[in-house]
Amino acid sequence: MSNELEFLSRRVASGKLSRRDFLGRAAALGITAPFANALLSSAARAAGPVKGGTLKAGLVGGESTNSLDPALMMTQVPFAFGKCWGEMIVELSPDGKLENRIAEDIGSSKDAKTWTLKIRDGVEFHNGKTVTAEDVAATLERHSDEKSKSGALGYMKGIETIKASGKEVVLTLKEANADLPYLLSDYHLIVQPNGGKDKPDAGISAGPYVVKTNEPGVRHGGERFANYWQGDKMGHADQIEVIVINDATARTAALQGGQVNMINRVEPKIVDLIKRVPGVTIRNHAGPGHYVFIMHCNTAPFDNNDLRMALKLAIDREEMLTKVLRGYGSLGNDFPINSAYPLFTEIEQRKYDPDKAKFHYKKSGHDGTVLLRTSDVAFPGAVDASQLFQQSAAKAGIKIELKREPGDGYWNEVWNKQPFCASYWGGRSTQDQMYSTAYLSTADWNDTRFKRPDFDKMVLAARAELDEAKRKQMYHDMAVLVRDEGGLILPMFNQFIDATGAKVDGWVDDPHQELMNGYALAKCWLQA
């Protein structure tokens, strides 16, 4: 290895050179990309985590109406702060595997109906008590209770009994589910003393930071928890702070001015400008989130599969990806799964084909215009995307009429109510979760009204299947069904675009959620 390369890799590790520039120069020196990447990560590791300092994040997605009760977490700020003070039963690692946290081991019976969680020894709550099996069981019980209004309630309903005995928690399910450990990684399921039944918003768990300030909609702060059980892996900064900055320009300015070390949701249209700012690194990464146009399969005129197919063929995905997302995303293929999911299989990419669209449109017998409702809040750039859709469809002879709805009330009055509108999905951690949430006949959020008994059977069968190869095939078949007969038009998957300031190190891209699945504050460190 040339001295120059070594020097460069150290510079990247210390944040003086961007990764992209490094790879460029490495290529110039005749080094292949994989080798250069390996070199880089070893340099970063050699530098090692630095303890100390205050890490600050300026995030969109906090309101003065937020609460510390994990059951009520919905937006980005409570989510990211929750990952700082909360400890989970099990978590998804950045490479998509399961990482045991409070559960030391998770095992199931052969039929995937009975699950046993073995609770780790010596994990301590912030109030000094030791985490017991009873605490874990109580947490799960609270989130299974309708009264908690928990965001995880939908999955938790599938658990029939929860029993704590000794160091184990035993769960029996109503129906077999091979994905249970993934469901337990839901961000709402923060383990609290006695499950938070006494005081749900006390903000006490066993995470790397102890809650010090909690001013909803303004800022949240934490101080390193001295007795955190894996202090070598997380909790590097002495203090962390989340400042709520809902305005995109203010967020960027705060990063540039150095008031915060990281921000979330950089708008695709300004990414290229921000990249040029010295010290700032853009952290973009593919995830399961996607932008969609949804048709109700049971409402005229969308109850006709030819019309649905015509509209799916009449959308120019490539154009939308470059113009709306500026390339920070990937093409969608009309089923809600991409490579961010385990057991994903490729299916032939659907392309813009005005002639075929015309053919299906004629066959559907529909006449007149199709009304598409859209709004700025449906997804960033939704109105522009809808206009692009209108134009590309016009070339296929399909007239789309746009109705711009007010953002206020869009999710109550339009989404999941009107037969054709723009929307988005954040994605889930497993295919089963995604399909169960929005494609089962009985799902409350079946926003395409895709009600197919044969599909329901496939979902349940795949859920109980423990053989991976067979499961993979099942998910492939389900994807084909949704793609060719469903009401979903999915032009693109979006990326998470975060940005960090100078001196922030330890960043690892995580496909599950923005900000390293919320762990950026807990896992990153400031260079000395």
Partner 1 sequence: MSSPILKLVAQRIALGILLLLAISVLIFAGTQILPGDVAQAILGQSATPESLANLREQLGLNDPAYVRYFHWLGGVLTGDLGTAMSSGQDIATSIKGRLWNTLFLAFWAAIVAIPLAITLGLIAVRYRNGWVDKLISGLALASTSFPEFFIGYLLVYFFAVKWQIFPAISTVYDGMPFGERMQAIALPATALTLVVLAHMMRMTRAAILNVMQSAYVETAELKGLSAFSVIRKHAFPNAIAPIINVVMLNLAYLIVGVVVVEVIFVYPGMGQYLVDHVTKRDVPVVQAVGLIFAAVYISLNIIADIAAIVANPRLRHPK
Candidate ranges 28-36, 38-46, 238-246, 309-317; the one touching partner 1 (CB under 8 A): 238-246
* DSSP code of residue 68: S
Q: Is 219 in the site for partner 1 (CB under 8 A)?
A: yes
CB-nearer residue toward partner 1: 436 or 495: 436
Rounded to whole angstroms, the Cα distance separating 487 from 334 reads: 9
Contacting residue, 3, 30, 64, 469, with partner 1 by CB under 8 A: 64
Q: Is 214 in the site for partner 1 (CB under 8 A)?
A: no
CB-nearer residue toward partner 1: 33 or 74: 74
CB-nearer residue toward partner 1: 245 or 434: 245
Nearest approach in angstroms of CB 499 to partner 1 is 14
Encoded tokens for 46: 């050699």
Q: Is 412 in the site for partner 1 (CB under 8 A)?
A: yes
CB-nearer residue toward partner 1: 437 or 517: 437
Q: Is 424 in the site for partner 1 (CB under 8 A)?
A: no
- Quick check: 80 and 207 in contact, CB under 8 A? no
Beta strands in 142-299 (DSSP E): 159-165, 168-173, 209-215, 219-224, 239-244, 262-263, 281-295
Rounded to whole angstroms, the Cα distance separating 448 from 263 reads: 33
Query: Which residues on adjacent β-strands are paired with residue 493?
Result: 290, 330
Q: Is 198 in the site for partner 1 (CB under 8 A)?
A: no
CB-nearer residue toward partner 1: 416 or 429: 416
Q: Is 409 in the site for partner 1 (CB under 8 A)?
A: yes
Q: Name which of 348, 339, 336 is nearest 478 in CA terms.
A: 336
Q: Is 66 in the site for partner 1 (CB under 8 A)?
A: yes
Q: What is the 3-state secondary structure (H, E, C) of 75-107?
A: CHHHHHHHHHHCCECEEECCCCCEEECCEEEEE
Q: Is 58 in the site for partner 1 (CB under 8 A)?
A: yes
Q: Is 244 in the site for partner 1 (CB under 8 A)?
A: yes
* Kind and range of the H or E run holding 526: strand 525-526
Nearest approach in angstroms of CB 239 to partner 1 is 14
- For residue 94, CA distances in Å to 271, 515, 518 come to 24, 11, 11
Candidate ranges 28-36, 108-116, 407-415, 421-429; the one touching partner 1 (CB under 8 A): 407-415
Q: 332 exposed, middle or buried (CB, 10 Å; 0-12, 13-18, 19+)?
A: buried
- Quick check: 62 and 229 in contact, CB under 8 A? no
Nearest approach in angstroms of CB 246 to partner 1 is 7
Strand pairing category for 504-505 and 525-526: antiparallel
Nearest approach in angstroms of CB 187 to partner 1 is 17
- By CB under 8 A, the count of residues binding partner 1 is 38
Q: Is 215 in the site for partner 1 (CB under 8 A)?
A: yes
Degrees, nearest 5: CA angle 391-427-505 = 105
Candidate ranges 130-138, 251-259, 267-275, 290-298; the one touching partner 1 (CB under 8 A): 251-259
Strand pairing category for 400-404 and 370-374: parallel
List interacting residues with partner 1 (CB under 8 A).
58, 63-67, 146, 149, 153, 213, 215-219, 243-247, 249-250, 253-254, 256-260, 408-409, 411-413, 415-416, 444-445
